[in-house]
């Protein structure tokens, strides 16, 4: 019987990292099998908090945890029968490869930040069947990754106070075809992040939540998430949350931020309002009131390059900088500072009454094009971090598997079609 231990692992990995002075090239050679393999490291290691990226942007930037010793967060690939060709440098092209989402943390002695599987499908042997069991397990350590695999059944509600990375498979997969092999999505019913000791600080989420999200922790990153309810940073446990980043996500209801400093909400599609009284929150390049009408009060914020789609009455802005925004109704935004009211939203979006991410792409000749600060486009698809359709994690995905009904002799030829999601 075939098993993962039969997989051959081969490849040469090239990374760049930058310290205060120079950019260095690091080469990682991997050879062996999944059960027994060796690493060879070459390069200069001058900064234990150095930031690496995978050449040709196969993986996004990773912020490394601070441990004692040199830290490396290294994605690697598994290949079968030498089908794997590594992306070497910018002078070469990307070859077909089979990617298994695995990550390793190397210290002075080799150790691994583990990827744990959550799957409740009948007949599948995974590490856990619920999200809560995963975060509560003593074997799941800070810095590990939890993968919620495709399922028709929710993985339940989650309360977590552990620094983890959570990954699912995106959203709006029907509206955006050829994104994932399975159209089922690993999802939660709701989520609360934080607790005694603030052990969830620096967690990262790329998941689908079919309900609310309450956050009471610092340096949390909500990145390419679908949230069917409201997103709240409101101090439900310790009143200590700060430096929240919400980016490239769909929030069906409101975003409420009433504590902390240096919060950033950027390039999202927000179905309801924004509100709160934090020390400072930046709202930029969002579609606000994408689905529902209304108004709200915002205090101590920078509000710039947003589109207020279905706002129906004036917002109250206290101690805010409000500029380069657009609204579909009169008097929603303060006059001046390049704010525009009473713009026909039917001329702005592909479908301003839509209920998926594709609807809020700007139309050709939209008045929101180049209407922002420094000539950028307004809304979720503008600026330096545009919204990604289907909001999948920034890791490669298999979107098609082709296999014959029966093997030819002792050989079964299987073709995996993959795509990057940077």
Report residue 33 as tokens: 């099998």
State how many domains the chain has.
1
- At 238 the pLDDT is 65
Contacts for 138 with CB less than 8 Å, ≥ 6 apart: none
- Residue 6 belongs to a domain: yes
- At 28 the pLDDT is 39
- At 236 the pLDDT is 59
Among residues 353, 348, 296, the alpha carbon closest in space to that of 322 is found at 296
- Residue 346 belongs to a domain: no
Q: Return the SS3 of 198.
A: helix
- Give the residue ranges of the chain where pLDDT is below 70: 1-112, 235-239
Among residues 343, 257, 370, the alpha carbon closest in space to that of 303 is found at 257
pLDDT digits (tens, 9 = 90+) for 290-325: 999 988 999 999 999 999 999 989 999 999 999 999
- At 237 the pLDDT is 59
- Residue 83 belongs to a domain: yes
- Residue 69 belongs to a domain: yes
Residue with tokens 């995996």: 416
Range of the domain at 24: 1-113
What sections of 116-204 are H helices per DSSP? 131-136
- Residue 75 belongs to a domain: yes
- Residue 91 belongs to a domain: yes
Burial of 294 (0-12, 13-18, 19+ CB in 10 A): middle
- At 3 the pLDDT is 34
Distance from C-alpha of 213 to C-alpha of 211, rounded to nearest angstrom: 7
Burial of 48 (0-12, 13-18, 19+ CB in 10 A): middle
- Residue 366 belongs to a domain: no
- Residue 132 belongs to a domain: no
Say how far residue 418 (Cα) sits from the centre of its chain: 19
- At 37 the pLDDT is 30
């Amino acid at each position: 019987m075939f098993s993962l231990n039969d997989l051959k692992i081969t490849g040469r990995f090239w990374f760049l990292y930058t310290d205060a002075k120079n950019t260095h090239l690091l080469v990682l050679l991997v050879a062996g099998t999944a059960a027994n393999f060796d690493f060879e490291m070459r390069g200069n290691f001058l900064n234990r908090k150095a930031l690496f990226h995978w050449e040709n942007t196969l993986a996004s930037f990773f912020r490394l945890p601070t441990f004692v010793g040199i830290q490396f967060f290294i994605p690697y690939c598994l290949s079968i029968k030498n089908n794997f060709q590594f992306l070497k440098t910018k002078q070469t092209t990307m070859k077909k490869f089979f990617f298994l989402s695995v990550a390793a943390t190397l210290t002075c002695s080799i150790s691994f930040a583990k990827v744990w599987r959550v799957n409740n499908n009948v007949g599948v042997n995974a590490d856990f069947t619920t999200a809560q069991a995963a975060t509560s397990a003593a074997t799941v350590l800070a810095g590990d990754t939890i993968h919620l695999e495709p399922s028709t059944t929710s993985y339940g509600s989650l309360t977590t106070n552990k620094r983890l990375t959570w990954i699912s498979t995106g959203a709006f997969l029907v509206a955006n075809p050829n994104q994932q092999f399975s159209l089922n999505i690993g999802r939660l019913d709701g989520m609360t992040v934080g607790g005694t000791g603030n052990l969830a600080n620096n967690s990262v989420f790329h998941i689908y939540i079919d309900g609310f999200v309450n956050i009471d922790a610092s340096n949390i990153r909500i990145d390419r998430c679908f949230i069917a309810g409201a997103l709240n940073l409101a101090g439900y446990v310790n009143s200590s949350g700060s430096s929240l980043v919400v980016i490239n996500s769909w929030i069906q209801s409101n975003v409420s931020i009433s504590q902390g400093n240096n919060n950033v909400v950027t390039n999202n599609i927000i179905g309801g309002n924004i509100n709160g009284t934090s020390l400072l929150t930046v709202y930029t390049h969002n579609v606000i009131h994408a689905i529902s009408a209304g108004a709200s009060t915002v205090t101590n914020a920078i509000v710039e390059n947003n589109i207020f789609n279905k706002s129906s009455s004036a917002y109250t802005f206290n101690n805010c900088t409000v500029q380069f925004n657009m609204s579909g109704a009169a008097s929603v935004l303060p006059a001046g500072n390049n704010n525009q009211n009473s713009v026909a939203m039917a001329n702005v979006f592909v479908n301003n009454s839509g209920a998926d991410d594709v609807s809020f792409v700007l139309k050709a000749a939209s008045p929101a094009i180049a209407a922002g600060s420094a000539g950028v486009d307004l809304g979720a698809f503008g600026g330096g971090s545009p919204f990604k359709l289907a909001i999948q994690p920034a890791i490669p995905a298999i979107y098609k598997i082709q296999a014959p009904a029966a093997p030819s002799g002792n050989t079964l030829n299987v073709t995996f079609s993959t795509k990057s999601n940077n």
